[in-house]
């Protein structure tokens, strides 16, 4: 399963960002812990090459950032309701689970010809990204856009 982001850049017709099934599963879990989420890809040193996941609004975006897409994880994977059964929809009612993916404009200049897929691997990433305590980290797999 792959979830493609909506197109948010004016004049473009193809998605620039996707999530693997593993990323959706982890994001579903993190949403239950932290509420709405967002990603930011800065391109800075150290962990800057990894996408950072924050509670929505915790990382303040500005003119120096570009919204690459909005990912809908509403369908989720294996969501469980409070009674121990499979939930038919999101745990928070009918509200969609939308995750914005932001990138610094400077980094976008380097990656403008790539499609990004957010995946998950074992290991500890940055302490600022909400997946760090789970012993997992998000990473980007990229391919040239055709």
CA angle, corner 143, sides to 99 and 105, nearest 5? 55
d(CA 70, CA 72): 7
Q: In this predicted model, what pLDDT tens digit does every residue of 37-68 receive, in sequence order?
A: 999 998 765 545 789 999 999 999 999 999 99
d(CA 143, CA 124): 24
| Res. 88: pLDDT tops 90 | no
Q: In this predicted model, what pLDDT tens digit does every residue of 19-32 receive, in sequence order?
A: 999 999 999 999 99
Buried b (16+ CB within 10 A) or exposed e, 6-40: ebbeeeeeebbbbbbebbbbbbbbbbeeeebbbbb
**Among residues of the chain, what percentage have pLDDT more than 70?**
81
């Amino acid at each position: 399963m792959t979830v493609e982001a909506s197109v948010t850049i004016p004049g473009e017709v193809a998605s620039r960002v996707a999530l693997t099934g593993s990323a959706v599963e982890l994001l579903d879990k993190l949403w239950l812990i932290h509420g709405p989420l967002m990603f930011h890809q800065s391109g800075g040193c150290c962990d800057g090459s990894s996408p950072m996941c924050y509670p929505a609004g915790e990382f303040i975006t500005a003119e120096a950032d570009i919204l690459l897409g909005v990912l809908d994880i509403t369908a989720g994977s294996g969501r469980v309701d409070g009674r121990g059964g499979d939930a038919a929809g999101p745990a928070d009612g009918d509200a969609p689970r939308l995750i914005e993916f932001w990138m610094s404009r400077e980094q976008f200049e380097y990656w403008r010809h790539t499609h990004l897929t957010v995946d998950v691997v074992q290991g500890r990433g940055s302490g600022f990204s909400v997946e760090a305590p789970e012993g997992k980290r998000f990473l980007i797999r990229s391919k040239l856009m055709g």
